Structure 1
């Protein structure tokens, strides 16, 4: 894996941030939920960080129990040259496993506030329905 410098991170992060901002302005919000009708693995993360700003850590945990991981992984990514590649890969795998575990648990137990499963609201479902019905 090629080591990225901070300016390269900005080149990647800025367009992604702008894309999400544009989607938000046009009322889409999460592109995964827009397309599928199913909340994504990061659903609730923004609301969790808003709760952190208000020093409501219980509320932050409610919105996303892994709210504390993104800044840790950002630092890990920025300083990956300072740790062994094996440790880096293990830590990334742990983070991915945690997100998958929490996501599956939340999908099995959706609360309708943070996690929502409504496939019929997804663009893909609506698009397929239009194609099938011919309208």
Structure 2
């Protein structure tokens, strides 16, 4: 199910978990920590119902977490997102995070280059042994 497939009455937490690639426990944790943009609504039976907007926001959370942004920084970003006129502060958080991601990327590229050198070394050794 994709975000655009969300029924008008909203998705269950299980469907939202599947659509976002997160676990149900993670969704509950994010909600408890105030990381969701809006708390999901509830059905008449009390079951969480995630809207298209809720699930789209989960995509943002996934991207930020998978690029290593700490929960405390995401929480600050979400708090600012709810404040009109806070674009400059949100931009500052994202720019700082980008710098961190670029530093990590450079380190991974350095390690990848070392791995490639080792592969070349062993390819040469294997070819000489044949």
TM-score scaled to structure 1, two decimals? 0.33
User: Of the two, which has the highest radius of gyration?
Assistant: 2
RCO comparison, higher one (Cα < 8 Å, 6+): 1
TM-score scaled to structure 2, two decimals? 0.34
